Amino acid sequence: KAGVTQTPRYLIKTRGQQVTLSCSPISGHRSVSWYQQTPGQGLQFLFEYFSETQRNKGNFPGRFSGRQFSNSRSEMNVSTLELGDSALYLCASSPMDGSNTGELFFGEGSRLTVL
């Protein structure tokens, strides 16, 4: 089974621009979560999607948004980029099939640099 795939792996943007990151979950996984990782704040939960619905959202401004498609693939968007948005953005998928194993499977991340 292929793992969680995130694209692009690296990107550079300038302040004020917007960015879209993509995540393909493991086949059969219906839940996709997004996390931001920075040296200062560590790993912080952005949001979680299941069956195309955002079920939970972390404490981030409205510039951060996401969506999930019917095939469970997910995208997140950050508008009006700020220098502080430079981070590794990690996507994780989970089967959410009632097996209740509590596992999240992470991709390798998209490293965003804002200049």
- Give the residues lining the site for other proteins (CB under 8 A): 4, 31, 33, 35, 42-45, 48, 50, 55-56, 58, 90, 92, 94-96, 100-109
Q: Are 9 and 111 in contact (CB under 8 A)?
A: yes
Comparison of 93 and 114: residue with beta carbon closer to other proteins = 93
* Alpha carbon 22 to its chain's center: 8
* Alpha carbon 93 to its chain's center: 10
Beta-carbon count within 10 A of 16 CB: 10
DSSP reduced 3-state for 58? coil
Q: At closest approach, how far in Å is the CB of 15 from other proteins? A: 26
Q: At closest approach, how far in Å is the CB of 91 from other proteins? A: 8
Comparison of 62 and 98: residue with beta carbon closer to other proteins = 98
Comparison of 62 and 102: residue with beta carbon closer to other proteins = 102
Count Cα atoms within 13 angstroms, Cβ side, for 8: 9
Q: At closest approach, how far in Å is the CB of 16 from other proteins? A: 28
